[in-house]
Structure 1
Amino acid sequence: MTKRKIKTKKLGKGVNENILKDQILDLLNSNVSTTYSVRQLAKILQIRGKKHKDKMLELLLKMEEQNEIRAIRNKFKSNHKPLSFIGTVDYVNPRTAFILSDGFTQDPRVKIDDLQYALDGDTVEFVLLSKPGRNPRARVERIVARKRNTFVGRIEISTRYAFVIADNKRMHYDIFVKNGAVNGARHNDKVIVEITEWPGWEKNPEGKIIKVLGKAGENNAEIHSIMAEFGLPFGFSDQVESAAQKISEKISATEIRKRKDFRKIPTFTIDPADAKDFDDALSFKKLKGGHYEVGIHIADVTHYVKQEDMLDREAFERATSVYLVDRTIPMLPERLSNGLCSLRPNEDKLTFSAIFELNENAQIIKEWFGRTIIHSDRRFTYEEAQEVIETGKGDFNEEVNSLNELAGKLRNDRFGKGAINFETAEVKFDLDEQGRPVGIIPKVRKDAHKMIEEFMLLANKRVANFIYHLDKDRDKYPFVYRTHDNPDPEKLTTFSVFARKFGHQLQLKETGVSNSLNLLMGEIEGKPEQNVLQTLAIRTMAKAKYTTEAKGHFGLAFDHYAHFTSPIRRYPDVMVHRLLQHYLLKGKPADREEYERKCEHSSEMEKRAADAERASIKYKQVEFMQNAEHKTYDGIVSGVTEWGVYVEIVETKCEGMVKIADIEDDFYEYDERNFCIVGVRNKKTITLGDNVKVIVKNTDIDRRTIDLLFV
């Protein structure tokens, strides 16, 4: 049998059309996401000479006409559809973004030209431009869903048009606004802009102003900007307020008979001086035989907020109160949060309680959970309770000091079992009448704070433990737990290397991590590196979350933990109260999937609240440091990146950045593995934890950034 001879047309000496066609298809189909110009194809396929290149172009056009390949802007690519993936854009700087997607060991990198106007947080379909593995490259094919289409920013108005410069650091486009769409905004106002059109390549998105927040730099305008940026509500609807007002404040005799009555037992609250909503109260009674009865009484929000009513839906949507520097955005209307539910002194109040009989060593002899009624005899501030502890004198001094002794024993037991003692250095701002910061005051945690914390932890732990052990089938009754996974070993190793730079050792064996961290926290207390090391230690930890999975809490060293003690400000606590009461009444197991969805939403809203709170603190820090130019500050290097060195100023706890471009004594390169930058010529190293001196170069209220210079 003889082979059939293939008739071919010569392109010239040594160039065969069929062979060349196969080579083109092989190249393009092996790189389905890549486009090639004629020059690139000629170079790769070694086609030389103008005559042969012209013939190749004729072949390419013929192949495109026959739908064998595609032509895009004078370039050619495979006609095969590339394998695509779905992911979320992480837009880190004006030149580059990454895509977070399951199944990739390294996040694919996307150049600005290949983003298709996708923004940070958008869900996109993308294809790979290189093979998966180390440093994969990708291109966005289409935007599946926008995370947002409104932005907060400062408007700059000229005679013919305007632009909005977004506050969001990850929005890298200025938004064009026609003069007819400024909605009364004036030059330098803070505004909310809605994007109405994404135009062609290399043009800015176009938008319209939907709300004017006020003059940039003014406190209300800036705080409202933060609220709008994070989608926080500016108030409650009239319908929600009306529903709250309609709730009766009277407590019926029938309702009282359903509850345990603690009104004759000494009871008090301890809260910050400026608090208006009192979630929790403590009662104390000596029992025969030397034991003590300690009642942890929590506002019974679920008595007033019924499941799936208007107030409940609003509370679920918000999921948490948000505490900005100068205001609180509550989860519940004031009628409830500061009135009906708040455990104010000298008033009968409905509560949900955890009652413990403890011996002299703070060991639990008996426990009881259920609905109660209390009458708070005294409203202490933390400072007032602390004075009673220190002097042994004052109202309820015997009760307060006995509770403090028991709390100390509970705390020692907790740390002995591996709880981690993170005492982060927090600050608050001294604000003038206009909301401007005139001072930064460190928050000091004393025994009164720790006492309240310890009894709240006890109630939260025992409620979770009670539900978990309701049945031999430990997973039978779905519940809302607060869980905290073990830290990532790789992050711990990285942190231990950093801690060693300060002369501190960290035990990395799984059984000794907690104790080693506690020893470290004790060693650094009061030292300049305390805040940096504590912050980095916390970053090595997994994020706590709400879930129906009955896992433990690593940081607290609890087998099971829940949030029971703050239903005025946290929706998961409302769910815990409902489920606990349902199971106490022998109710059937709740719908696990429904509660897991609610847990996920609550965790997301908690993160949003934390981000907004940090943004408001950062704004006040920037505002405070505006008046600090030309003064030299001691600082500690708290972060190193390829574009700059972050420095925490010791005196004010404010963090700023020294841009690498502003370091003039040498050209510095980033050493990612060793968390440092290294001078090319002088080999000088600037690394995490270095003590430095800096001055303020510039502050930017809009972007909430502080630019520093090394002295």
Structure 2
Amino acid sequence: MLKSRSFVKKTKRGAVVKVVREHYLRDDVWTGWQGEKRVSCADPFVENVAARKSTLCPFKHLLVPDTNVVLHQIDVLEFHGIAGLILLQTVLEEVKHRNLPVYKRIREQLDDQNRCFYVLSNEHHKDMYVEREKDESANDRNDRAIRVATAWCAHKFADYKVVLLTNDNANKEKASLAGLLTFTMRQYVESLSDYPELVDKLSQAEEGNTKVYMYTHRAEYLQSFLFQRDGDSEKVFPEYLSSARLHAGIKSGKLVQGTYQAKRNNYLEGFMLAQDSDRQPILIQGRQNINRAVHDDIVAIEMLPENEWSYSSDIVFREDVEDAEPGEDDLETAIAGKGKNALSKTKEREPSGKVVGIIKRNWRPYCGILLPALTKHTISRIFVPAEKRVPRIRITTRQGTTLDGQRIVVSIDEWSRSSKYPQGHFVKALGPVGDKDAENEVLLLEHEIPHQQFSENVLKDLPSMPWSISAEERQKRVDLRDVCVCSVDPPGCTDIDDALHCRQLSNGNFEVGVHIADVTHFIRPGSPLDKEAINRGTTVYLVDRRIDMVPELLSSNLCSLRANEERLAMSCIWEMNEGTILQTKFHKTVIKSKAALTYEEAQLRIDDKSKVDEVTEALRLLNSLAKALRQKRLENGALVLASPEVRFDFGDESHDPINLDSKEMRETNHLVEEFMLLANISVATKIHNDFPDCAVLRRHQQPPLGKFDSLLRAAQLKGIRLEVDNGKALAQSLAKAELPDDPYFNTLLRILSTRCMMQALYFCSGTEPEENFYHYGLAASIYTHFTSPIRRYPDIMVHRLLAVAISADTTHPDMLVSRKVQELCNHFNHRHRMAQLAGRASVQLHTQIFFKGKVVCVEGYITSVQRNAISILIPRYGLETSLFLRDDEKKSVFTFNEQVPSQTAGSVRLTVFGKVKVRLQVEKRELRPDKLKVELVWPQVAGFNEGVSSPKNESKRKRKKVALD
């Protein structure tokens, strides 16, 4: 049966067009449900459905959830105790349209045969399809389609009762009138006697704003007055504007739309990054102005009058989880401009605003811990997220004693005006606080790192083993197996994606080749393997593990340029003399590396004059050419910056770090770096010339001069004058910035200069003018990433473009559409940033593990001075930590000078670049994460004890009760 479906839509140019589509209906659509066929008693469907024990449904039954149940109760539906679920096409399409991540999560459940989740294509079945009636909303039509499909299932599967799950009262009432068996999700979950803990996973987002508390104990009854007194009887926050007023305000320019970004060290302050990239970030400060916005939400803000604009604060919040609101009074007092803690009056006021509406919530599951309960029987608990930019969350759980001292995951359901905290629900437990596996899981989840095992569907795309290069493939490539190619990598590296060769030509010039693993030979566009690599975006390197972008068969074997094994490569080959490129060629090649060396091994070969073998001589030539290239690059204004990197040594049995040391840089590190940079620049030029509108490039903007202000003031105190007008001036002044009595000063200055930089970004060449292609840090007019396709997906895109440019391959049509390329670049920018942060978090975790049971006195350098704390970098351990200078009663022997900035106590003055000596030890805390305790040893300051608080105030802190919202 054929039906026509028509609708009107508005095009990007504003035209209104009518679209007519054919819709086919059949009477033989397979339901996908095994109950249609005769099944044995051993069938997993029969076993799982029979195993469910529900007091409401003491019979064999199937479940049909509506759209909102799937959207809001996905954590419940993923629970193993829920089985025998029929997912209607109507529901899946609506879920996909409204929330793609939830759609992907519910689709993943279909792959688990034991779950018995089935898709019913009701929209293409003539007995279940319903037409939209006149004056009927799309939502009402879908609800009716769900009821019709449920009734059909109830008739079709007579051996089973069919239960409609809906939290919509109107839909539930209509279903009951139609004779359908229907329950709310809460009613059904509470009836599952075998899974009482499942109630904690219920989202309250659909259950109305009326708060219902079950006072099973007198303590909870008393606690209800705390809730009410704390704000439930009053409106804590301003009301949001209606959708119509929001859209009208944004359209007229009275309101500004953008993404809210909370500060990492101060959750009561943040900025809104407007969608108009030319607009300066807008400061949002204080609980009332933030108005329930959570980090990464898309919000609408109203600009405050200029006389109400404020200043960014210099306050760092403590991370002590026993405090109800650590550091909140510091900022609220500062905002009010009271006392010596008032905000800066010397800084330039920043454009400020207040949130008046939420365009889109970007909430996700959050990891963290529960605060200690007020009483033994308390079921309302406060959850402290590991992400300091997210507010605390109130949840209801009957598993409190079990979850105390555990790392858990919580999702936010709602945030009403009358509640100081958002309301959420428990999702799952990860393990004990401090357990390395649990803490690793936390940092992966918090940084949104896909770390699940590769699915069978993805693994099917891998070549079968044993694998070898076919004769047909050899004919398409340049054979370089006789060339002396070698690789130089860090120790323990198994994903070797780059190798080099160098030989002198008869004309006296040099032939240099960079050979990169041809990953695109194994990953075809649009395949499941390709889609998974896109999703992951990058390989993530943690201290104790590596999370690959592609399966290990490729990353550590077939695509790894291992010694003495034939491998497929994409090669960039130059003819050059000392530092000058004369000719550049690109080929798909077959290579056979002669040696896979570490940086140290390669350096030893170069330095050992007795070694004259082919590999060593090639390394010496490469090293000589690399020095010339580096010198030329630095003369052009390339920056040499620094970061505090460390290397861990692990015990054989415990797998815990037993030694921690800073990484050593050798000439061979620079050797590899120079030729990788040169290859990236050469490939960027080639693909942009051939594809000017869709080349994948990487740019690095020059930072605004204001970003250097605090660094310039601090350097001046040391008698150093930095020039920051352009990259070349900065590079030259950094090279001259030396202190004879402090050899580490220049390195520290470069580290702090790095923090003034903008983030480098992937972009599509068709979306930016050519003047924006410039890479500030490298002083390169054009740049891309080509040299690491095993661990970065943008490199794969670049390889595909290069292959088309040299007529060696074809690529997916989407690669030639700039809008789609830019969407992918945005995704990879996010993945790259999250991978960086996850790596740093892993270093911090293992540093803390290293310090367990140790008390270490070590020298450090002050890297920043805030109103209530100083940040200290400890080069020996690559560690940066905060030392708080004010106690709980807001008293301090130190006086803050924001113009320098500095902290002064008597004759002691703490400024950036100043040396200090601190004592480090790990403080063990019950039911909470261990804390790295920092104490000031030198300089000695009278009246300053342990850098934070007196014993009297410390005991007061421990006695402090948490006031629940």
Q: TM-score range by the shorter chain?
A: 0.7 to 0.9
Q: 1:561 maps to what in 2?
A: 783
Offset from partner CA, 1:309-349 (integer Å, 9 cap, x none):
11111111111111111111111111111121111122111
Q: Does structure 2 conserve the Cα–Cα contact (< 8 Å) formed by 1:169 and 1:703?
A: no
Residues 461, 518 of structure 1: CA spacing in aligned structure 2 closer, same or farther, 3 A cutoff? farther
The letter of the residue matching 1:547 is F
Structure 2 CA distance for aligned equivalents of residues 187 and 238 of structure 1? 34
- Counterparts in 2 of 1:310-709, with a 5 A limit? 310-359=528-577, 361-394=578-611, 396-432=615-651, 433-470=653-690, 476-510=692-726, 512-520=728-736, 527-549=743-765, 550=770, 551-585=773-807, 590-629=816-855, 631-662=856-887, 666-678=892-904, 682=906, 685-696=909-920, 706-709=932-935
Q: CA deviation at 1:456?
A: 0.9
**Following the alignment from structure 1 to structure 2, what is the Cα–Cα distance between the partners of residues 574 and 79?**
45
d(CA) in 1 for partners of 2:525 and 2:561?
Answer: 22
Q: Matches of residues 54-203 of structure 1 in structure 2 within 5 Å?
A: 83-92=254-263, 96-102=268-274, 107-128=282-303, 130-131=305-306, 134-135=309-310, 138-155=353-370, 159-160=376-377, 161=379, 163-179=382-398, 186-198=403-415, 201-202=418-419
Aligned 8 A contact 1:219 1:435 in 2: no
Q: Deviations over 1:282-307 (max 9, x none)?
A: 12333212222222110001111011
Deviates more, 1:123-132 or 1:407-416: 123-132
Q: Contact between 1:547 and 1:599, CA under 8 Å: does it hold in 2?
A: yes
Give the Cα–Cα distance (whole angstroms) in 1 for the partners of residues 741 and 456 of structure 2. 50
More off after superposition, 403-412 vs 512-521: 512-521
Q: Is the 8 A contact 2:640 2:731 kept in 1?
A: no
State which drifts further: 563-572 or 641-650: 641-650
2:483 counterpart SS class: coil
Q: CA deviation at 1:531?
A: 4.4
For 1:612, the aligned partner's letter is A
For residues 396-415 of structure 1, give each alpha carbon's deviation from its aligned partner in whole angstroms, at most 9, with x where no partner exists: 22222122112222212222
- Assess if the C-alpha contact under 8 Å between 1:427 and 1:440 holds in 2: yes
**Where does structure 1 lack aligned partners over 5 or more consecutive residues?**
1-71
Cα-Cα RMSD: 3.4
| Amino acid in the other structure paired with 1:449 | N
* Whole-angstrom CA distance in 2 between matches of 1:465 and 1:419: 18
The aligned counterpart of 1:65 is none
CA shift for structure 1 position 199: 5.6
Partners of 1:657 and 1:706 within 8 A in 2? no
Rounded Cα–Cα distance in structure 2 between residues aligned with 1:197 and 1:617: 34
Instruction: Determine if contact 2:382/2:392 at 8 Å carries over to the other structure.
Output: no
| 209-218 or 610-619, larger mean C-alpha shift | 209-218
Residue by residue over 1:412-431, the C-alpha shift from the partner in whole angstroms, topping out at 9 and shown as x without a partner, is: 22222222222444211223
- Is 2:237–2:417's contact at 8 Å kept on the other side of the alignment? no
Q: 1:384 and 1:231 mapped to 2: Cα distance?
A: 37
Cα shift at 1:75 = 14
SS at match of 1:566: coil
Distance 1:564 1:393 in 2: 36
**Paired residues of 1:282 and 1:297 also in contact (CA < 8 A):** yes
Contact 2:642 2:754 (8 Å CA) reproduced: no
Identity %: 29
Which stretch shows the higher mean deviation, 170-179 or 334-343?
Answer: 170-179
Q: Which moved more, 1:216-225 or 1:142-151?
A: 142-151
| Structure 2 CA distance for aligned equivalents of residues 216 and 492 of structure 1 | 39
The residue type paired with residue 585 of structure 1 is S
Q: Distance between the aligned counterparts of 1:307 and 1:234, measured in 2?
A: 22
Residue range with higher mean Cα deviation, 642-651 or 139-148: 139-148
Letter in 1 for 2:474: I
> 8 Å contact 1:192–1:228 — kept in the other structure?
no
Structure 1 stretch displaced more, 168-177 or 640-649: 168-177
TM-score by length of 2: 0.60
Matched position secondary structure for 1:651:
helix
> Following TM superposition, by how much is the alpha carbon of 1:198 offset from its aligned partner in structure 2, in angstroms?
3.7
Distance 2:241 2:387 in 1: 39
User: Is the contact between residue 501 and residue 689 of structure 1 (CA under 8 Å) also seen in structure 2?
Assistant: no
Deviations 1:223-263 (A, max 9, x none): 11100111112223323542244456332111111110001
Asked whether 1:255 is paired with 2:473, we answer yes
CA separation in 2, counterparts of 1:115 and 1:405?
A: 57
449 and 132 in structure 1: CA distance in 2 versus 1, 3 angstrom threshold: same
Aligned residue number for residue 492 of structure 2: 274
Q: Which moved more, 1:185-194 or 1:669-678?
A: 669-678
1:640 CA drift (Å): 1.6
Which residue does 2:169 correspond to in 1? none
1:76 and 1:98 mapped to 2: Cα distance? 18
What amino acid is aligned across from residue 153 of structure 1 in structure 2?
G
Greater alpha carbon shift after TM alignment, 122-131 vs 541-550: 122-131
Contact 2:705 2:725 in 1 (8 A): no
C-alpha spacing 1:435/1:676, structure 2 compared with 1 (3 Å): farther
How far off is 1:552 after superposition?
A: 2.0
Q: Which amino acid aligns with 2:795?
A: D
Query: Whole-Å Cα distance in 2 between the matches of residues 508 and 118 of structure 1?
Result: 36
1:97 to partner: Cα distance: 2.7
Greater mean deviation of Cα atoms: 611-620 or 87-96 = 87-96
273-282 or 631-640, larger mean C-alpha shift: 631-640
Following superposition, the deviation at residue 185 of structure 1 comes to 5.2
- 2:458 is equivalent to residue 219 of structure 1: no
Distance 1:438 1:527, change over 3 A: same
Q: Does 1:303 align with 2:521?
A: yes
When residues 172 and 460 of structure 1 are mapped into structure 2, their CA distance, relative to the original with a 3 A threshold, is same
User: How far did 1:147 drift?
Assistant: 2.5
Q: CA deviation at 1:281?
A: 1.1
Aligned residue type for 1:541: M
1:376 is displaced (CA, Å) by 1.2
